[in-house]
A and B are shown apart, each in its own frame.
Chain A
Amino acid sequence: MSTAEITTGAATPPPAPGGNRPGGGPFGKGTPLRRITVAAAYLAVVLLAWQLYVTLADVPSYLLPDPLSVGDALWRLASSGELWPHLGYTVRNIAVGLGAGIVIGSLLGWVIASFRTVRLILAPYVVILQAAPKIALAPLLVLWFGLGLGSQLALIVMLAFFPMMIAMMLGLGEVTDDQRALGRVLNLGPARFFRLVQLPTALPALFAGARIAVIDAMTGAFLAEYISAQQGLGFLMVQGRSTYDTPQLIAAVVLTVVVGLTGFALVSLVERRALPWRR
């Protein structure tokens, strides 16, 4: 079982900053009803294939349980009330970590894009950090921040700030020379130029970054819980594994993906609202 595999799978739609239009969504365009139908049909096909495979290949349930028993495990967790504190814990951590990651990443991206000296000092670290498998740093974080909430949030922030930083740098780069000249003709100071020109220009890229950051935050939360937590969806997975309750293990993974996709959908929704001029 590898969390990386699951999350890279979920993170596959990496919207190219600037290029991708909001509203495309993973299930294409159309009326909401139509899109939901398409999504549901897609899900049904996947579940059916899964069920068929398990039945036909006669896979033992401790290796891969069939969808029904996973559903059963989900229902058990939900109806016993055991699920909610775990779900709430993970969602809260994702929200807090993502929020901090967005703020820190955007600020850092702005500083790097705006100040030459900072860029010269930080650029090598940016490249190294980009190349490093950030997940491999998780044990190091546990070492630094202990086994508690601190290291968990640190991991989430570390994963989430990065796409935001890159997005801000790319987004600010989209300001044209003419727009800069316009700012000077109108005598906009740096603050007003940022608010009136730079930020709106960077916004599409920032939203694209946020969509990736949501998924990365989910990876971080799950991974952190997997390593160290006593609570959360990652913990449910660990618990499922150690009690040989594979359906619970899969249920926890499925829930995490659902949380990630919900976050993704929320960002897309806000994006559609915030960027009417891009439709």
Chain B
Amino acid sequence: MTHHTHEDTAPPEAAATDHRRLLEIRGVSKEYVSVKGASVRALDDVNLDIGDGEIIAIIGPSGCGKSTLLRMVAGLDTDYEGTIEWTRAPRPGRDIGFVFQEPALLPWRTVARNVSLGIEVQKDRSDLPTDRVDQLLELVGLRDFAKSYPKELSGGMRQRVAIVRALAYDPRILLMDEPFGALDAITRDKLHDDILRIWAATRKTIVFVTHSVEEAAYLADRVVVMSPRPGRLRSVHQVPLDRNRDAATRQLPVFAEFAGMLRGELA
């Protein structure tokens, strides 16, 4: 695995899994032109490889281009310099699940119909169990709200709906932009474990943005730290933990040490 990093704190033995490369981001830069005509350099020469089945966390100060990078990977923004190359290109509408920074639910659809949207619009998903939506709503504790409309939910509940909407059609790649930001600590911890369980069962490639160094350390294989203006990769760190993570993991000295190091990087 190639790391284009300034420092790499990963001890070799800590690499829990060896991943075949899925995605190669080379020299990606992005300039936004504001309404008034001024240009903002959102990303500057970003290089990153992402392995198949890897979990990557992106952290960095607000406005450093995390969302921009994630949207590029999703193919939502194709206006950039540099290249993003897939080893195995994702099938459109099927392989990428995206959780937006805002829930972005369709207000005229009930919770259940929001979640089922991605399944509905695909040709044949008889491979998925018929009670898929119910199961997912159960997972995030919203089964009783299946028939509610989004406006009847709290912000955190909406975000949970948005997360399972992205999971519903079982995409190979899950991209999440601050998915757990609006959640209380208990729900967040539970969802972390749910995500890890889903990963263990399906080996999805997961890239997520977060502002929480603990979240990054708990979930990720590697943590990408970005620096602001223009957004660059400051460093990429291998998480010094194996893949079996549970509540006890958070108590480990190495966990606290790693999180503390990340926090230092952000300052």
Q: Which residues of A contact B (CB under 8 A)?
A: 176, 178-179, 181-182, 184-188, 192, 196-197, 200-201, 203, 275-277
| Shortest beta-carbon distance from B162 to chain A in Å | 10
Instruction: Tell me the minimal C-beta distance from A238 to chain B in angstroms.
Output: 46
Q: Which residue of B lies closest to A274 (CB)?
A: B108
Report how far A190 CA is from B190 CA in the complex, Å. Answer: 38
Q: Tell me whether B93 and A277 are in contact (CB under 8 A).
A: no
Name the distance in Å between B117's Cβ and chain A's nearest Cβ: 7
Inter-chain pairs besides A178-B104, A203-B108, 13 sampled, C-beta below 8 Å? A179-B104, A181-B76, A181-B100, A181-B104, A184-B75, A184-B76, A185-B74, A187-B121, A188-B121, A200-B106, A275-B108, A276-B149, A277-B107
A69 to B128, CA, bound (A): 72
Q: Is B125 an interface residue (CB 8 A)?
A: no
Give the docked Cα–Cα distance between A277 and B94 (Å). 28
Q: A178-B102, A179-B106, A188-B93 are in contact. Are A277 and B76 (CB under 8 A)?
A: no
Asked if residues B104 and A186 are in contact (CB atoms below 8 Å), the reply is no
Taking the nearest CB of chain A, how far is it from the CB of B172, in angstroms? 13
> Which of A179, A181, A185 lies at the interface centre, i.e. has the most chain B CB atoms within 10 A of its CB?
A185
Task: Tell me whether chain B's interface is mostly helix, strand or loop, or mixed.
Answer: loop
Determine whether B118 belongs to the interface, using a CB cutoff of 8 Å to chain A. Answer: yes
B92 near A: Cβ within 8 Å? yes
Q: Which residues of B contact A203 (CB under 8 A)?
A: 108
CA distance A185 to B77 in the complex (A): 11
Tell me the complex Cα distance, A179–B104, Å: 6
Interface residues of B in 80-139 (CB under 8 A from A): 92-94, 96-98, 100, 102, 104, 106-109, 117-118, 121
A238 to B147 alpha-carbon distance, docked (Å): 55
Contact across chains for B108 and A186 when beta carbons are under 8 A apart: no
Q: A181-B98, A185-B76 are in contact. Are A277 and B108 (CB under 8 A)?
A: yes
Whether A277 contacts B151 by the Cβ 8 Å rule is yes
Q: Mark B149-187, 1 if CB is under 8 A from A, else 0.
A: 101000000000000000000000000000000000000
A-B contact count (CB 8 A): 49
Q: Can you list 7 A-B contacts with CB-CB less than 8 angstroms, sorted by A residue number?
A: A179-B104, A179-B106, A181-B100, A182-B104, A185-B74, A185-B96, A186-B117
Q: What's the minimum C-beta distance from B211 to chain A, rounded to whole angstroms?
A: 19
Choose from A182, A187, A196 the contact partner of B94 (Cβ within 8 Å).
A187
Contact between chains at B93 and A182 (CB < 8 Å): no
Contact, CB under 8 Å: A277 / B104: no
Check if B71 is an interface residue, CB within 8 A of chain A: yes
Chain B residues closer than 8 Å to A182, beta-carbon distance: 98, 100, 104
Given A182-B100, A200-B106: A187 in contact with B76 (beta carbons within 8 A):
no
B149 touches which one: A176, A178, A187, A277 (CB < 8 A)?
Answer: A277
Q: How large is the interface on B (under 10, 10 to 19, 20 to 34, 35 or more residues)?
A: 20 to 34
In contact, A186 and B121 (Cβ under 8 angstroms): yes
**Which residue of chain A lies nearest to B100 when distances are taken between CB atoms in the complex?**
A178
Tell me whether A181 and B71 are in contact (CB under 8 A).
Answer: yes
A188 to B100, CA, bound (A): 17
Tell which of A184, A186, A201 touches B118, judged by Cβ atoms closer than 8 Å: A186
Q: Does the CB pair A196–B121 fall under 8 Å?
A: yes
A187 contacts which chain B residues (CB < 8 A)? Answer: 92-94, 121
Minimum distance in angstroms from A191 CB to a CB of chain B: 12
CB closest residue in chain A, given B118: A186
- Cα–Cα, bound, A33→B108 (Å): 29
CB closest chain-B residue, reference A204: B108
B71: chain A residues within 8 A (beta carbon): 181
Bound complex: CA A277 to CA B98 (Å):
25
Q: How far is the CA of A186 from the CA of B91 in the complex (A)?
A: 10
Q: How far is the CB of B148 from chain A (nearest CB, A)?
A: 10
A201 partner residues in chain B, CB cutoff 8 A: 108
Neighbouring B residues of A178 by C-beta, 8 Å: 100, 102, 104
Chain B residues positioned under 8 Å from A277 (CB to CB): 107-109, 149, 151
Whole-angstrom CA separation of A139 from B96 in the bound complex: 59
Report whether A200 and B104 are in contact in the complex, using a CB–CB cutoff of 8 Å. no
Q: Which residues of B contact A179 (CB under 8 A)?
A: 104, 106
Q: Can you name the residue of chain A whose Cβ is closest to the Cβ of B91?
A: A187
Taking CB atoms, residues of chain A closer than 8 Å to B74 are: 181, 185
Q: Which residue of B lies closest to A275 (CB)?
A: B108
Q: Closest CB of chain A to B49's CB: distance in Å?
A: 23
> B249 CB to closest chain A CB, in angstroms?
32
Q: Which residue of B lies closest to A200 (CB)?
A: B108
A200: which B residues are within 8 A, CB to CB? 106, 108
* Nearest neighbor of B107 in chain A, beta-carbon distance: A277
Q: What is the CA–CA distance of A276 and B118 in the complex, to the nearest angstrom?
A: 22
* Chain A, residue nearest B120 (CB): A196
- What residues of B have a CB within 8 angstroms of the CB of A276 in the complex? 149
A48 to B21, CA, bound (A): 84
